[in-house]
């Protein structure tokens, strides 16, 4: 580590050269002005593209001027190329938006493409001030009984990052292909993609450790020590991890399922290493629930075998109305509401006899459990309008007070 610090400290000598400082000053000023104008207020995409071309043209003219004067200009050219590449990533994202969903595209862009591009830019800038080969040979000390160099450590970290951030899209594509071949459900496809991603990451970690040359005996000893620590310090994390894998293999909770949590239907967005992320429709909130919770508490699911859910609306009608007429009206009204399935057909029932009305229930089926509240509200509204148009009264409780005879004389003797 000391050797690496000594090597990088030598870069200051290069940066202190007047020619280098002059190039950095002008290019930094140009990029700073561009960023300031863009953040000052929102502008249209066409205006942004125009400003990008102005920035690239200014850097190109500056590099040409330095070259004409026979002054050092290589650093300006490197900054020009890197800036053009950064703008090219934005153009690539707009192209990919036609084929990739917005959420996946955001993850691909910010989690993989731009970090890799920044790493490439860093390596190019390092090449201007030092030799990457010399940096890669700098010793970083002994890790698990193996002497590591900066290049080996960098390679291991890069491979692990690519596995964690880049294995998602390929595994999802493979899972989608398997779904088309054998007819797996959507929730099964998501579970299969996650299992494939875990497997690729695990195999990649083992391959990376083997390529770096870690001492296997030392790794076994460290794993034994970690197993003891799992029993004390991080047993909850390990338990949640195993629970997540078990949920995937068992299939009781999978991405895309709809669970009933705290009185609200929630959709399982993803199963992570420690917790599951659920989305609640009524307030657009995400719930983070530890995986082992699904093994310790009862969980109601509406997507175990299918996504059908039964809804129910209760209403009262006055006694003078024929129950057969009311039931027929309820069933016709429910069948006409958008979102209510025609098969199984809505069913009207007499639930009981109240003090001032006969209690009816209209039961119906919907295909999306998350839409139960909104469709039930629409059914309630349609029933009220149908009752009003057909002249069916919905009585409400009334209280009539009668004064007992002789009460006034008793109060005023």
Q: Which of residues 174 and 216 earns the better pLDDT score? A: 174
Average of per-residue pLDDT values in the chain: 79
pLDDT at residue 220, rounded to an integer = 62
Q: How many contiguous H segments (helices) and E segments (strands) does the chain have?
A: 17, 10
Q: Are 197 and 168 in contact (CB under 8 A)?
A: yes
Q: Are 163 and 201 in contact (CB under 8 A)?
A: yes
Q: Please name each of the domains of the chain with its CATH number.
A: 1-137 (no CATH), 235-301 (2.30.30.60), 309-390 (3.30.70.100)
Pick from 86-95, 100-109, 294-303 the range whose average pLDDT is largest. 86-95
Our measurement of the distance from residue 109's CA atom to the centroid of its chain's CA atoms, rounded to an integer in Å, reads 14
Q: What integer is the mean pLDDT of 264-284?
A: 83
The span from the CA of 218 to the CA of 153, in Å, is 18
pLDDT at residue 408, rounded to an integer = 56
Span of 71-85, 123-137, 249-263, 275-289 with lowest mean pLDDT: 123-137
pLDDT at residue 48, rounded to an integer = 82
Which of 134, 160, 165 minimizes the C-alpha distance to 212?
Answer: 160
Q: Which of residues 326 and 17 earns the better pLDDT score? A: 326
pLDDT at position 152 over 80: no
Our measurement of the distance from residue 386's CA atom to the centroid of its chain's CA atoms, rounded to an integer in Å, reads 43
pLDDT at residue 40, rounded to an integer = 67
pLDDT at residue 349, rounded to an integer = 94
pLDDT at residue 176, rounded to an integer = 82
pLDDT in tens, 334-360: 999 999 999 889 999 999 998 889 999
Span of 61-75, 154-168, 205-219, 386-400 with lowest mean pLDDT: 205-219
Backbone angles phi, psi at 16, to 5 degrees: -85, -5
* Residue 125: pLDDT band with limits 50, 70, 90: confident
Would you give the DSSP letter of residue 337? S
* Residue 321: pLDDT band with limits 50, 70, 90: very high
The span from the CA of 267 to the CA of 260, in Å, is 9
State how far the alpha carbon of 177 is from the alpha carbons of 101, 105, 190, 237, 379, in Å. 17, 19, 12, 33, 40
pLDDT at position 412 over 80: no
pLDDT at residue 8, rounded to an integer = 60
State how far the alpha carbon of 133 is from the alpha carbons of 5, 226, 273, 283, 396, in Å. 16, 35, 37, 54, 86
pLDDT at position 68 over 90: no
pLDDT at position 210 over 90: no
Q: Are 299 and 259 in contact (CB under 8 A)?
A: yes
pLDDT at residue 383, rounded to an integer = 94
Pick from 127-136, 219-228, 382-391 the range whose average pLDDT is largest. 382-391
Q: What integer is the mean pLDDT of 66-84?
A: 85
Other beta carbons less than 10 A from residue 201's beta carbon: 16
* Residue 145: pLDDT band with limits 50, 70, 90: low
pLDDT at residue 364, rounded to an integer = 94
* Residue 364: strand pairing partners: 311
Tokens matching residue 200: 């690729």
pLDDT at position 377 over 90: yes
pLDDT at residue 376, rounded to an integer = 92
């Amino acid at each position: 580590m000391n050797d690496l610090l000594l090597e990088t400290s030598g870069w200051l000598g290069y940066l202190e050269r007047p020619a280098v400082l002059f190039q950095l000053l002008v290019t930094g000023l140009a990029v700073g002005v561009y960023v300031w104008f863009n953040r000052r207020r929102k502008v249209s995409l066409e205006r942004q593209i125009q400003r990008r071309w102005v920035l690239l043209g200014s850097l190109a003219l500056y590099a040409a001027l330095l070259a004409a004067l026979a002054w050092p200009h290589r650093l300006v050219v490197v900054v020009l190329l890197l800036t053009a590449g950064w703008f090219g990533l934005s153009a690539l994202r707009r192209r990919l938006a036609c084929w990739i969903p917005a959420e996946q595209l955001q993850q691909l862009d910010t989690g993989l493409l731009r970090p890799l591009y920044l790493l490439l830019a860093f390596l190019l800038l390092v090449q201007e001030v030092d030799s990457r080969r010399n940096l890669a040979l700098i010793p970083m000390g002994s890790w698990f009984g193996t002497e590591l160099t900066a290049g080996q450590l960098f390679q291991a970290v890069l491979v692990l990052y690519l596995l964690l951030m880049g294995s998602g899209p390929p595994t999802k594509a493979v899972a989608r292909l398997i779904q088309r071949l054998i007819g797996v459900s959507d929730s099964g496809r998501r579970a299969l993609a996650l299992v494939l991603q875990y497997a690729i990451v695990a195999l990649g970690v083992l391959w990376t450790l083997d390529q770096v040359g870690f001492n296997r005996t030392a790794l076994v000893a460290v794993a034994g020590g970690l197993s003891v620590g799992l029993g004390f310090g991080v047993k909850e994390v390990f338990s949640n991890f195993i629970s997540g894998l078990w949920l995937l293999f068992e299939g009781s909770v999978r991405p895309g399922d709809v669970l009933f949590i705290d009185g609200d239907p929630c959709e399982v967005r993803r199963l992570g290493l420690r917790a599951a992320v659920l989305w609640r429709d009524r307030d657009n909130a995400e719930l983070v629930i530890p995986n082992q919770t699904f093994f310790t508490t009862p969980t109601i699911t509406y997507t175990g075998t299918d996504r059908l859910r039964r809804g129910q609306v209760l209403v009262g009608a006055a006694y003078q109305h024929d129950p057969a007429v009311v039931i027929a009206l309820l069933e016709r009204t429910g069948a006409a509401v958008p979102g209510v399935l025609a098969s199984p057909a809505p069913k009207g029932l007499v639930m009981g006899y109240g003090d001032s009305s006969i209690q009816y229930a209209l039961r119906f089926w919907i295909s999306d459990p998350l839409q139960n509240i909104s469709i039930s509200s629409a059914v309630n509204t349609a029933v009220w309008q149908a009752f009003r148009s057909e002249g069916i009264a919905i009585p409400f409780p009334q209280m009539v007070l009668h004064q007992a005879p002789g009460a006034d004389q008793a109060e005023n003797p």
